[in-house]
Structures are given as C-alpha cells and as structure tokens.
Amino acid sequence: MQNALYVSLSKQVTLRREMDVIANNLANMDTNGFKANDVTFEEYLSSKARIAHPSPADQRVSYVRESGSTTDFSEGSLQQTGGTLDLAIRGEGFFVVETPQGDRYTRNGAFTMNEKGELVNMQGYRVRGQNGPIQFDQQDSNITFSREGTITAINGIQNQVIERAKLNIVRFNNQNALVRESNGLYAAPGQTAQPATEKTSVTQGTLEKSNVRPIIEMSRMLEVMRAYQSLSSMMTNTDDLRKTAINKLADTTS
C-alpha cells in the first residue's frame, strides 16, 4: 500500500514539472524567436522497494522520473515590422551574439544600435559578423541587409554605397544538444558552429515570432491538471483504506 503512494507521488512530481514547462511556453508565446520546450519521462525501477507478493518473487516497484527535455526548433511565423534593424532567419540557423560568458546563439533578430554604432541585441550584446562585431558609421543611412546577410549602407561623407559587414549565421549538427539560457539565448557546449547552408536566408524588417501553439499548450495543461487531480484522489482513497485496515486490525487484536 505504501508503494502505491510512493509511485503516485513520483508521478505527481513529474506532472508538476510538466506543468512548469507548459506555463513557461505560454508565458513566452509573444516572445520573438522563442522555441517551445517539452519534457520527457522514463520508467525507473527501484533497487530496494519491492512488491510483497510471493509470486513472482521480488518484483521491483516501477516509478516515474524525468529523463530530459527537448526543444521544438521549428520556425515560428514571421511578422512584418518595417524596422531597419529587425531581422528574421528563414530556414536553419542562428544569429551569434557576444556575451561575457562567450558566444551565444539566438533566433531573436530584434536588434538595435548602441552609442558606438555597433549592432546589438536587446540586452546590449554585440551581434557578430563573419569578421567580428558589426560596426556602422554615424553618417550611414539606408542600411540594408541582403538575403545572404550582406550589410550595406549609404555613407553621407562619401555619398556612396559601402559594404559594412556580413552577418554570421551558423547552424549545429545537433540542435537538441543546445542549452537554453535566459533572454532567448542558447549555449553550445562541446559543439562547433557550422556556416548556415545556402537554403538559409535573412529577411529585413521582419521578426520571427514564437512557435508556441497556445491551443495545444492549453490542452496539455488541462490533461496534466486532470491527471494530477486523479492521482490526488487515488492517494486519498489509498490512505483512507490504510487507516481503515489499521483500525480493523486494532479491533481484532483487542
């Protein structure tokens, strides 16, 4: 009877974890470039807890535990903003930004320009081009990003089109190994960034929205809530049954 309570409790812990993931997805449904997350679980056979039945002998108790998480890297919808420095990646790939912890990778192309004329993200981290940080001149106007990521501008002093840099769009052989961090950034421990393929392109004046599907996430939330409530009811009934058995045993012995 105790084993049933422990098994139910292990399932409730995993359901609480799944609920946290769903809530985080819904909270970021309007976050540019956000990728929905999911959590996976596995059966865990305890080496000590056993079912007290003579046959089959020594049957181990099966619990539930979290085995890891996965990220859905499918593309989100594109939203036209008209912003000169708003960029979206179509196809596979990530922008590269410099952080105090090293290079990080993101699909959020909501960029701006700092006081030094450098292209930065919303946290102020510099966006990397293929030859380092992307730098503009104060006299630059009509900044344009080509589909291949080449950045040009009309310089007011020289009054001519100048190529400033080219975006560094990268991909990874194993996207599932990327580690999610705050602000839509990913780390890539143990992986080497590869140049994006020719199928990848950049769209200016556009932002990639979250790929979270609210209706699906709400349906999942309802399923988790019902499962949690069902387990709570079962645990209460099991506990009541245990109390009844103890009381009857006490009455018998007395």
Number of domains in the chain: 2
Its domain, for residue 117, covers 78-208
Residues 149 and 237 in one domain: no
Do 62 and 11 lie in a common domain? yes
Residue 4 confidence (pLDDT) above 70: no
> What is the C-alpha to C-alpha distance for residues 163 and 153, in angstroms, rounded to an integer?
7
On whether residue 249 sits in a domain, the answer given is: no
Tell me what the pLDDT averaged over the chain comes to: 86
Position with higher pLDDT, 176 vs 238:
176
Claim to verify: residue 106 and residue 190 sit in the same structural domain: yes
Q: Is residue 229 part of a domain?
A: yes
Q: Is residue 250 part of a domain?
A: no
In a domain, 254, yes or no: no
Beta carbons within 8 Å of 223's beta carbon, 6+ residues apart: none
Q: Which residues pair with 39 in a beta bridge?
A: 69
| Residue range 201-213, pLDDT digits in tens | 999 999 999 999 9
Residues 156 and 188 placed together within one structural domain of the fold: yes
- Average pLDDT of the residues in 86-108: 97
- 101 with 196, same domain: the answer is yes
β-strand partners of 129: 132, 167
Domain identity same for 46 and 91: no
Element (H, E) at 69: strand 59-71
* Domain shared by 146 and 61, yes or no: no
Q: Which residues touch 222 (CB under 8 Å, ≥6 apart)?
A: none
Q: What is the dihedral of CA 234, 236, 241, 243, to 10 degrees?
A: 160
* Residues 226, 150 share a domain: no
